[in-house]
Amino acid sequence: MAKTKRVVVTGGSGFLGRALVARLAATDWCGEVFVPRSAEYDLREMAAVQQMYADARPDVVIHAAGVVGGIGANRENPATFFYENLMMGVQTMHQGYLHGVEKFVTIGTICSYPKFTPVPFREEELWNGYPEETNAPYGLAKKMLLVQSQTYREQYGFNAIYLLPVNLYGPEDNFDLQTSHVIPALIRKFIEANERAAATGETAKVVLWGDGSPTREFLYVDDCAAGIVAAAERFNGPEPVNLGAGFEISIRDLATMLARLCDFTGEIVWDSSKPNGQPRRSLDTGRAQALFGWRAGTPWEEGLKRTIAWYRANRGAG
């Protein structure tokens, strides 16, 4: 197939978006990628969305843009996370339908799953309860895009698919302690604690939220990009599809592993007055393998080492 398809990647300058753009360039069908910058195209505004479609004229849209953050950011900005994620997604998909794009790929979130979903999370469980409270507004806004994709397919025959990646990590992640997720936050805390201890002669100490008991699953960002592109190429159904690595680790064990990899030998203090978040998260990824032949391939510890190495090399940039 000739490299003729024009692809819009919203959020294409972000963590996942950059990996997606690189992956698309390696395909035999994507001829041009258009990345709308928020300064030029505010996707919360319908006029800006319409202008983006007029300028880009895409065949395929991958909607990866979102307002995201950790537990603290979600607790402080629940209305912002709900409104901005909902408006960006609903308007971008609706205009995609009106402009006749061949395919619309929505990147959802596992924050949409109910708080007490049986592990491993299966896609059939998405509607069997309310999401964990600290990130429910974000999760519900993203889940409405599943409803939109399914109803637009039913009523209009619009080829919209919906993917659910698990927590991502990897080089070029967001390491801002106010908005980052757990892996980049832990890496930064351990490395900076070591440096403070070396400068002061005091014992290194890192304080972490909760009690360490919740479990999470993590997917290397390049693996996720490969899964999204595989779905864009080969999947054309209404079912939501999980993208994950197929394993589960407690936050306490994750902290221990990252401390070792960051050469941190100080004290880890758990602040149980802070929230844990959802008790467990781990995905059943069988549907992705069955429907479009994808599974994650990056070894867990190797992915962490690459992430730590990138942060050490680049944290002073800018």
Query: Which of the residues are catalytic?
Result: 138
Which residue reads 């549907």 in tokens?
287
The Cα 131–Cα 146 span in angstroms is 15
Token reading at 134: 């600290």
Question: Could you tell me whether strands 218-220 and 160-165 are parallel, antiparallel, or unpaired per DSSP bridges?
Answer: unpaired
CA distances from 258 to 192, 233, 236, 269, 313 (A): 13, 36, 39, 15, 17
Cis peptide before 214 (omega within 30 of 0): no
d(CA 58, CA 9): 10
- Report the C-alpha gap between 299 and 174 in whole angstroms: 21
What SS3 class is residue 161? strand
- Rounded CA gap, 12 and 20, in Å? 7
Q: How far apart are CA 217 and CA 52, in angstroms?
A: 35
DSSP-derived letter for residue 112 is G
In 108-227, DSSP assigns E strands to 160-165, 167-169, 205-209, 215-216, 218-220
Task: Write phi, then psi, for 12 (nearest 5 degrees).
Answer: -70, -15
